[in-house]
């Protein structure tokens, strides 16, 4: 395969409800929350791992296409491998190597999402119990005795924005179904974003957590000649084109 171009997409995630993506509980002390949000160990700021965003994208695309296999987690077999619909493998790649399907590299790279300067300033001034987060209390109800067992966990509060970068790679491919891959890849990514906006990110989504909005700030396409010329600008601006796809995906 030959790399043809890269589309660099900068986007914002804004929380509409509290967001909880769990971190390590190794340093928990007595009286602290049962679950904590993942944080940068250098500055204690919460962030959203790119793996969480990309994994949710892939899950929603496969569910929407009905191509999720019946094997256990970690061994999920995409049913599209045997069919004509290769939407998931086109965008996210495939590690399988068989006579029916070649190995495919992932065409989507998703970076970690970090707090915007405005949201960081807002959180620093917020009267919360913990740094950059809130504590949410819940109770597990025993269905027989009706006894309540309280539990507490951290959430990034609503109204907080994170910025992240996605890179969409376009490869030269001889297969017929990939001839118009650039447009199809952008369409699939736009579809994944639209699905996520009406779903949730992180844990506890069925209990109101993780509802988010995603806005595209910029998108620029860079072909191979761009990388050979140090005097090039940021690249071909395709922000409007990609934003339209979000509307009509």
DSSP string, 95-152: ---SSS---B---EEEPPEEE-HHHHHHHHHS--SBTTBEEEEEEEEPTTT--EEEEE
Q: Tell me what pLDDT residue 39 has.
A: 93
Q: Tell me what pLDDT residue 34 has.
A: 65
Q: Tell me what pLDDT residue 81 has.
A: 46
Q: Tell me what pLDDT residue 186 has.
A: 84
Q: Tell me what pLDDT residue 176 has.
A: 39
Q: Tell me what pLDDT residue 29 has.
A: 47
Question: Is 155 exposed, middle or buried (CB count within 10 Å of its CB: 0-12, 13-18, 19+)?
Answer: buried
Q: Tell me what pLDDT residue 80 has.
A: 45
Number of domain units in the chain: 1
For 7, 103, 108, the CA distances from 189, given in Å and listed in that order, are 12, 20, 9
Q: Tell me what pLDDT residue 97 has.
A: 54
Q: What is the DSSP letter of 32?
A: S
Q: Tell me what pLDDT residue 243 has.
A: 85
| 212: helix, strand or coil | strand
List all residues 6 or more positions away from 27 whose beta carbon is below 8 Å from its beta carbon.
none
Positions in the chain short of pLDDT 70: 23-34, 68-87, 95-102, 173-182, 248-249
**Backbone angles phi and psi of 40, in degrees to 5:** -70, 120
Query: Which domain covers residue 142, as residue numbers?
Result: 2-248
């Amino acid at each position: 395969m030959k790399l043809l171009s890269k589309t660099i997409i900068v986007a914002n995630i804004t929380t509409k409800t509290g967001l909880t993506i769990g971190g390590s509980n190794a340093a928990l002390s007595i009286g602290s929350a049962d679950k904590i949000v993942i944080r940068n160990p250098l500055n204690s700021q919460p962030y959203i791992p790119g793996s969480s965003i990309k994994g949710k994208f892939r899950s929603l695309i496969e569910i929407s296409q009905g191509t999720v296999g019946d094997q256990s987690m970690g061994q999920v077999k995409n049913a599209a491998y045997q069919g004509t619909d290769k939407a998931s493998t086109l965008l996210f790649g495939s590690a399988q190597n068989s006579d029916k399907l070649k190995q495919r590299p992932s065409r989507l790279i998703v970076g970690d999402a970090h707090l915007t300067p405005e949201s960081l300033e807002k959180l620093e001034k917020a009267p919360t119990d913990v740094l950059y987060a809130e504590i949410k209390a819940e109770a597990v109800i025993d269905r027989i005795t009706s006894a309540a067992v309280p539990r507490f966990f951290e959430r990034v509060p609503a109204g907080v924005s994170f910025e992240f970068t996605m890179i969409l790679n376009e490869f030269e491919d001889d297969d017929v179904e990939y001839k118009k891959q650039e447009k199809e890849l952008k369409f699939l990514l736009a579809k994944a974003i639209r699905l996520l906006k009406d779903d949730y990110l992180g844990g506890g989504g069925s209990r109101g957590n993780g509802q988010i909005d995603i806005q595209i700030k910029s998108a620029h396409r860079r072909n191979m000649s761009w990388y050979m010329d140090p005097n090039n600008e940021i690249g071909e601006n395709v922000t409007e084109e990609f934003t339209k796809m979000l509307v009509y995906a």
